[in-house]
């Protein structure tokens, strides 16, 4: 299948908006625009016409229940064949595409997240298993009759990570959740036995290194000088009539030393990276968290998702397809 999600607004939509704005200008305003020397004058001249332009983006914002459902089936077949990387890629795509506006769509989303966590479990990436279980609990709507599976996976992951207390709690929850399962008496007996064996076996222990929650070597923290806080203390500034203002090394500086570090005044994830980097904090994302409303961005965590959707992304989300060159889409 090589279908694309989302409407094909394409890169010309922004151009069309610009042409509409120019089309509304009177000859006098156009003359003034051509003669204007500064940005402020130009913005003032165009502002009224710009505010009259109606932007009508795709109401689905790239989301598609059908494609997400297809992604689930394709992902499940990769999972069954133990093609775990392909399964992950497909589940990631389906999670981002899955709408979240109905109980039915949120249920599909939680199943996709659960299936992704099962894939991470097979790959022994237990922290990612736990991340996904937290994510699906936050979304809600995970079918109650399947919850014992998630609790069992959670228990085994905590066990592998060496957290006996949380593992034991999750095993108890797995047993408790079995009463909501649709298993017949025989299957229920077998499942109880499986839980009991898993509790006693304590397999899959990961090595100590895998237990570290933070990297042991934290990156060096840059400390600037008193006067120029963005510059290393060994950097000095001078000025002369020939060179103007320039920086020099006041002392020997070891090769590889960071000499200037400054936070950007503003920053944005470009459209090419919108599905690979967190829209809020920019880190590279392996286990994407979806925007509940659009399929054009990803987040590294539900915290970043919430912060973005309380702020800038709430405004950008409905018009992202119009302001970027092309709609961000996944191919299944
Ligand atoms: Zn982030
Ligand atoms: Zn969005």
Do residues 40 and 100 both lie within one domain?
Answer: no
Ligand lying nearest the CA atom of residue 285: 1
Ligand lying nearest the CA atom of residue 328: 2
Q: Cα(128) to centroid of ligand 2, in Å? A: 23
Do residues 188 and 241 both lie within one domain?
Answer: no
Q: Cα(284) to centroid of ligand 1, in Å? A: 9
Which residues does 234 contact at the CB level (< 8 Å), separation at least 6? 249, 250, 251, 252, 253, 257, 259
How far apart are the C-alpha atoms of 95 and 220, rounded to whole Å?
36
Domain that holds residue 1: 1-62+296-332
Q: Is 131 exposed, middle or buried (0-12, 13-18, 19+ CB in 10 A)?
A: buried
Q: What pLDDT sits at residue 8?
A: 43
Q: Cα(305) to centroid of ligand 1, in Å? A: 7
Q: What is the pTM of this model?
A: 0.75
Q: Cα(295) to centroid of ligand 2, in Å? A: 7
Do residues 35 and 8 both lie within one domain?
Answer: yes
Q: What pLDDT sits at residue 9?
A: 44
149-183 pLDDT, tens per residue?
999 999 999 999 999 999 999 999 999 999 999 99
Q: Cα(329) to centroid of ligand 2, in Å? A: 13
Ligand lying nearest the CA atom of residue 320: 2
Question: 162 lies in a domain?
Answer: yes
Q: What pLDDT sits at residue 284?
A: 95
Q: Cα(134) to centroid of ligand 1, in Å? A: 16
Q: Is 212 exposed, middle or buried (0-12, 13-18, 19+ CB in 10 A)?
A: exposed
Q: Cα(299) to centroid of ligand 1, in Å? A: 5
Question: 217 lies in a domain?
Answer: no
Do residues 53 and 78 both lie within one domain?
Answer: no
Do residues 85 and 197 both lie within one domain?
Answer: yes
Ligand lying nearest the CA atom of residue 302: 1
How far apart are the C-alpha atoms of 132 and 128, rounded to whole Å?
6
DSSP string, 114-130: HHHHHHHHHTT-HHHHH
Q: Cα(63) to centroid of ligand 2, in Å? A: 10
Do residues 73 and 180 both lie within one domain?
Answer: yes
What is the number of domains present in the chain?
3
How far apart are the C-alpha atoms of 83 and 213, rounded to whole Å?
28
Which residues does 119 contact at the CB level (< 8 Å), separation at least 6? 75, 79, 84, 87, 88, 91
Q: Cα(131) to centroid of ligand 1, in Å? A: 14
Q: Cα(82) to centroid of ligand 1, in Å? A: 30
Q: Cα(97) to centroid of ligand 2, in Å? A: 11
Ligand lying nearest the CA atom of residue 317: 2
Question: 283 lies in a domain?
Answer: no
Under DSSP, the state recorded for 179 is G
Do residues 186 and 72 both lie within one domain?
Answer: yes
Q: What pLDDT sits at residue 325?
A: 57
The CATH code of the domain that includes 118 is 1.25.40.10
Question: 200 lies in a domain?
Answer: yes
Q: How far is CA 294 from the centre of its chain?
A: 12
Which residues does 71 contact at the CB level (< 8 Å), separation at least 6? 90, 91, 93, 94, 97, 98, 112, 332
Do residues 114 and 39 both lie within one domain?
Answer: no
Q: Cα(298) to centroid of ligand 1, in Å? A: 9
In this structure, what are the phi and psi dihedrals at residue 21, rounded to the nearest 5 degrees? -65, -50
128-156 pLDDT, tens per residue?
999 999 999 999 989 999 999 999 999 99
Q: Residue 158: which H helix or E strand, with range?
A: helix 147-160
Question: Do the Cβ atoms of 154 and 162 come closer than 8 Å?
Answer: no
Ligand lying nearest the CA atom of residue 278: 1
Question: 115 lies in a domain?
Answer: yes
Q: Which residues of the chain have pLDDT under 70?
A: 1-13, 57, 202-219, 325-332
Question: 37 lies in a domain?
Answer: yes
Q: Cα(289) to centroid of ligand 1, in Å? A: 9
Q: Which residues surround ligand 2, an ion (CB under 5 A)?
A: 291, 293-294, 317
Question: 218 lies in a domain?
Answer: no
Q: What pLDDT sits at residue 207?
A: 52
Do residues 107 and 90 both lie within one domain?
Answer: yes
Q: Cα(307) to centroid of ligand 2, in Å? A: 12
Ligand lying nearest the CA atom of residue 279: 1
Do residues 56 and 69 both lie within one domain?
Answer: no
DSSP string, 56-117: ---TTTT--HHHHHHHHHHHHHHHHTT-HHHHHHHHHHHHHH---SSHHHHHHHHHHHHHHH
Do residues 169 and 45 both lie within one domain?
Answer: no
Q: Cα(288) to centroid of ligand 1, in Å? A: 10
In this structure, what are the phi and psi dihedrals at residue 152, rounded to the nearest 5 degrees? -65, -40
Q: Which residues surround ligand 1, an ion (CB under 5 A)?
A: 278, 280-281, 300, 304
Question: 105 lies in a domain?
Answer: yes
Do residues 162 and 55 both lie within one domain?
Answer: no
CB atoms within 10 A of CB 162: 14
Q: Is 24 exposed, middle or buried (0-12, 13-18, 19+ CB in 10 A)?
A: middle
The first and second tokens of residue 9, run together, are 């607004």
């Amino acid at each position: 299948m090589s279908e694309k999600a989302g409407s094909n607004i394409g890169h010309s939509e922004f151009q069309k908006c610009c042409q509409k704005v120019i089309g509304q200008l009177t000859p006098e305003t156009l003359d003034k625009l051509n003669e204007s020397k500064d940005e402020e004058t130009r913005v003032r001249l165009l502002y009224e016409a710009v505010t009259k332009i109606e932007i009508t983006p795709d109401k689905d914002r790239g989301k598609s229940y059908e494609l997400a459902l297809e992604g689930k089936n394709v992902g499940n077949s990769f999972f069954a064949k133990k093609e775990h990387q392909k399964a992950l890629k497909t589940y990631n795509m389906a999670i981002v595409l899955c709408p979240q506006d109905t109980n039915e769509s949120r249920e599909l989303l939680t199943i996709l997240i659960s299936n992704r966590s099962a894939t991470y479990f097979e790959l022994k990436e237990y922290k990612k298993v736990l991340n996904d279980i937290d994510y699906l609990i936050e979304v809600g709507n995970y079918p109650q009759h399947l919850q014992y599976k998630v609790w069992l996976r959670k228990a085994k992951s905590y066990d592998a990570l060496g957290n006996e207390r949380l593992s034991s709690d999750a095993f108890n929850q797995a047993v408790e959740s079995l009463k909501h399962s649709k298993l017949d008496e025989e299957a229920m007996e077998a499942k109880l036995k499986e839980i009991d064996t898993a509790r006693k076996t304590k397999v899959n222990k990961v090595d100590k290194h895998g237990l570290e929650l933070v990297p042991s070597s934290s990156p060096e923290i840059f400390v600037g000088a008193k006067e120029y806080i963005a510059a290393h203390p060994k950097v000095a500034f001078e000025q002369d009539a020939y060179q103007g203002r320039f920086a020099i090394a006041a002392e020997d500086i070891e090769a590889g030393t960071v000499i200037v570090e400054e936070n950007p005044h503003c920053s944005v994830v470009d459209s090419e990276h919108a599905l690979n980097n967190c829209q809020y904090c920019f880190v590279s994302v392996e286990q994407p968290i979806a925007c509940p409303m659009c399929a054009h961005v990803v987040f590294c965590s539900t915290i970043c998702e919430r912060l973005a959707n309380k702020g800038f992304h709430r405004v950008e989300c409905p018009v992202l397809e119009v302001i970027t060159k092309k709609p961000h889409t996944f191919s299944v």
